[in-house]
Structure 1
Amino acid sequence: MERNDYLTRIFYIVLMGFGFPIMRYMSIHFDTLNNNAIRFLSGGIFFCIICLFKFREEIKTILKDYKIVLSLFLLAIFMTANMFLFINGLKYTSAISGSIFGILAMPLGIIFASVFYSDERKIVTNKRFIHGAIIAFLGSLFFVLNSHHSNGNEIIHIGYIYLTCAIIIQSIQNLIVKKLALNLPAIVISASTATLSGIIFLTIAIYTNTFNNLREVPFTLITGLIFAGIYGMLTGMLMAFYILKKQGVAIFNMTQLLIPISTGIIGYITLGETISIMQMISGVIVIFGCILASKREHTMRTKKCIA
């Protein structure tokens, strides 16, 4: 089980490394509302089809419990706000900026999680986890400060404000996911969240006449956005919810710290975004900090299994 946990994190890090450049590319060619409406609906419908065949009993459970329905709807609202701000942030900054801003969600997310959940509190109060988290966080901040996009541009600063608001909402959102994951599979949560968020984005896009802008977009690009939506929901939502369910908020936030490195490499290859020597050094520091924290978490679980 432990090996599967590590493999899941590795796949998540690599796949999300591709995800940010894809989102960045689509944010340039589509309005934020249309972008999110198509991405969320395509991913949500894909998940719903799977759930209709594999998780019918879970769907019946949701429909019978109004509290779960309200929680899923609340999660969809948080996800909608989060992604609206996040995509706008990517639009004005860069793919790598989107990934490295996720590191700033770590302290807030872990604090929230440790206050409300005792299992999270046990993880974050261990010295090795604390030391590893501090090292990784400082390395990530060093990464940000050495970004070539920190040039004082006012538009880029607006993008950073969008990203900051997005990660604050994300920290609260993850707590709702953890609560729902106690009774529901990750894919069921993903299906309802993505579909509801897509409907909200589509409604706003139609109401503001933004949806009409799609007439000017080539069909091939729209098709690309549909597949990008399925890919994004599989990685950024389903895999993220799965890690939150199986390994907790603290470990999920630690995993997030490694995504800027894979994003930087892939962004360099696909979008021509540059990586400095200092950023490479920062990446090594982040990896060391994450290994230090994760090693402690592995030791704890091993001792628990022996006991």
Structure 2
Amino acid sequence: MAKSRTKNRGRRGGKSNNLLVWLGTALLPIIVLGLGGLAMTKAMGVERIDSAFCYDRSDQAEHVVFVDSSLKPDLSDQQLRDYVSGFERVWDRAAPNTRISTFTTARDTATSVPTPLFQMCRPPRTSNEQAEIGAPGRTDMYLQREFGEAEALYRGVVARVLSDAQNSEVTAIDSPIMEQLQSISRYDAFQGRDRSLTLISDGIQNSETARFCAVQGDLPSFSVFQSQPRYRRVEPRSFADVRVDFLKVESIVLPQPGAAYCTHDEISIFWQDYFESQGVRSFEINRLRHGG
């Protein structure tokens, strides 16, 4: 009888175990889905804009602003206003969550490896823009306040860049424009499908590669320059499909003593051909002339 009771307990245990296995198998997808939904909800609930006002997105638009800090310190009031307008245009045209990276050739920031002076994003301003990038819902009032904080920070960056452009202690001695553009083309945060570049410079390359205007023959047509060995040393990786806005500062009369071998038109044509050879999506040049 004892043996029979033991056997019966074994059969009941087997049935119970089978039932648990069956229930576990049946409920597993539900449990997984439930936990997955909980994890997703939790993740969505804790996602926050970071300290640079950015949301991490694989399809994020990228905009680089490159300021050549070898410019003359005697820019006119009109040119300074144009500088500010150029930066404001970058901000105003930026789509929600566009990452804006600012590079300069100022002596206190220039390095052999391109490092942005500052990097931040233009955050969503409305709940519709917030939804466009799939970010957690926020009220318009909250987003507008956050946008205002980001805009104030951006204006502070602009103020520093303009201050450096006028400060002889940090103004760059040389002007390695092509070297910097090559580095920017390799910059990790400038490899996406939606890229824009704003270049603020007089366009006068001045480095070991070439000294436009100062050395006769150093500013040939771009097609000639492109065929020379020195170009291969500074050739960019790619600016294909990039939108380029060139704010060309013309603060001196060309030609002149010390810069006898170029004109402003020749410089403009060179850079247009340089970028178009890279297959840019668009190239726009705006001249900031001496004296306004």
TM-score by length of 2: 0.29
More helix by percentage: 1
State the TM-score, normalizing by the size of structure 1: 0.28
User: Relative contact order (alpha carbons < 8 A, sep ≥ 6): 1 or 2 greater?
Assistant: 1
Q: Which has the higher strand share?
A: 2
